[in-house]
Amino acid sequence: MTLRLLSPASVRLLGATVLLGALMWRFAPRPWDVLGALAGVDIWILVAAVAVNAAGVAVRAEAWRGLLGHVTADRVPFRDAFSAYVVGLVGNAVLPARAGEAARINMLGRRLSGERAYSLVTGSVVAHRLLDCIPFALLMLAVPLLDGPAAFSGVALGVAAIALISAAGLAIIIVRRRDPAFERTGRIGGAVAAMRRGAAGLGAPRTTARALVLETLAWVAQLTVVWLALAAFQLPASIGAAALILVAINVAVAVPLLPGGVGLFQAATALSLGAGGTAAAAGVGFGVGLQGLEILTTLLVGLPLAAREGLLLRRFLPVAAVREHGGNGPHDRHERYPETLGLQRMSERGRAKRASAGRSLQHPSSL
């Protein structure tokens, strides 16, 4: 009997499961204590938190749309950018390692014209993520100023400084550094050039300033969501505590091994609240509720959009999407969705082979 080795994905899942088990053993809250922390939640405050969270998602999508609109000749409607961004969030919620970003890139890339549309969108996503680091680093700096626990002050200042320098340095390298000889060589060079053009929005002061303001507003919305959630769970609801929780969560799930960073998310909330004297069970229970609130917002907004795009039953359904958008003919369909052209060509080759085989049976050659 041949033994089959575990695939890399299985190894990562196993490692994440072991890590989650170790964290649960470390904090050791009893399940009924965690469920008890979920009792007595103010539903109306949670409804307000969901609304604020949805508004923050829309603001982030608009910031990304502005960066992409600066580098493409195509008009990028807010509806398309918002749909792609939210479907990416749905993917991140159900897939590990932020795999939803691929859906985000594919969904908007197929709407743009040009040979390097997907690389262009990828560059804009990189620029968006880099720009997002700046308000996040400022939030880290704000933790000690907002009466966050003193034990985290030095760490927050150091990490914030590194994040600011790294974000600025990477942005400058991507936008400014060019190698024309490399960019002219082969598909890889062309793709890299297109990605760099996609990130060129960071080189435009007005576009960058607008996106930075929108990203800052989105972080303020997220901070408000955490503060409202603390109030809903009847925990000490200070802006400093909310800022510390938000920073800890984003650091913990920067590269999530499990979908949505489950486990690490709850550990981050338990550690943050524990610094202020909150019991571990209450911290884990709050983490479960806060992540549930974020997932609920994503699903309420994202599932209808994903269904409209035909992304629920299969990875992507270009034919269903063509029907949804009402293509007027073969030329229009293949311009909007190039992947359908390959499917049609495969179908035509299959029909040609079957016709050839039929003619051979009808007129067999004599030996």
Tokens of 7: 């695939």
- Ramachandran sector of residue 60 (left: φ over 0; alpha: ψ -120 to 50; beta: rest): alpha
Task: Say whether pLDDT at 63 is over 90.
Answer: yes
| Rounded CA separation 197/215 (Å) | 21
CA angle 144, 209, 162 (to 5 degrees): 40
DSSP 314: S
On whether the CB atoms of residues 285 and 270 are closer than 8 A, the answer is no
Per-residue pLDDT, 71: 86
Sequence-separated (6 or more) residues with CB below 8 Å from residue 270: 27, 29, 280, 283, 284, 287
Task: Say whether pLDDT at 52 is over 70.
Answer: yes
- Ramachandran sector of residue 235 (left: φ over 0; alpha: ψ -120 to 50; beta: rest): beta
Per-residue pLDDT, 221: 97
| Rounded CA separation 42/209 (Å) | 38
Mean pLDDT of 167-182: 62
| Rounded CA separation 275/273 (Å) | 5
Of 87, 82, 83, nearest to 100 by C-alpha is: 87
Burial 287-300 (b: 16+ CB within 10 A, else e): bbbbbebbbebbbe
pLDDT digits (tens, 9 = 90+) for 90-148: 888 888 778 888 889 988 988 888 777 888 899 899 889 888 988 998 888 888 777 65
Q: In this structure, how many other beta carbons lie within 10 angstroms of the beta carbon of residue 315?
A: 8
Task: Say whether pLDDT at 166 is over 60.
Answer: yes
| Rounded CA separation 242/235 (Å) | 11
Q: 28 or 170: which carries more pLDDT confidence?
A: 170
Tell me the residue type at 67.
Answer: L
Of 121, 119, 54, 51, nearest to 89 by C-alpha is: 54
CA angle 67, 70, 76 (to 5 degrees): 80
% of the chain surpassing 70 pLDDT: 63
Tokens of 185: 């060589």
Q: Please compute, for residue 171, the number of CA atoms within 13 A of its CA located in the half-sphere on the CB side.
A: 24
Per-residue pLDDT, 232: 94
| Rounded CA separation 295/301 (Å) | 10
Using only the alpha carbons of the chain, give its radius of gyration: 25
Of 281, 244, 251, 279, nearest to 265 by C-alpha is: 251
DSSP 116: T
Query: What residues does each domain of the chain span?
Result: 37-238
Task: Say whether pLDDT at 50 is over 80.
Answer: yes
Tokens of 238: 């200070």
Q: 199 or 268: which carries more pLDDT confidence?
A: 268
Per-residue pLDDT, 339: 42
pLDDT digits (tens, 9 = 90+) for 327-359: 444 444 444 444 444 444 544 555 565 566 555
pLDDT digits (tens, 9 = 90+) for 304-314: 776 766 654 34
DSSP 151: G
| Rounded CA separation 174/187 (Å) | 18
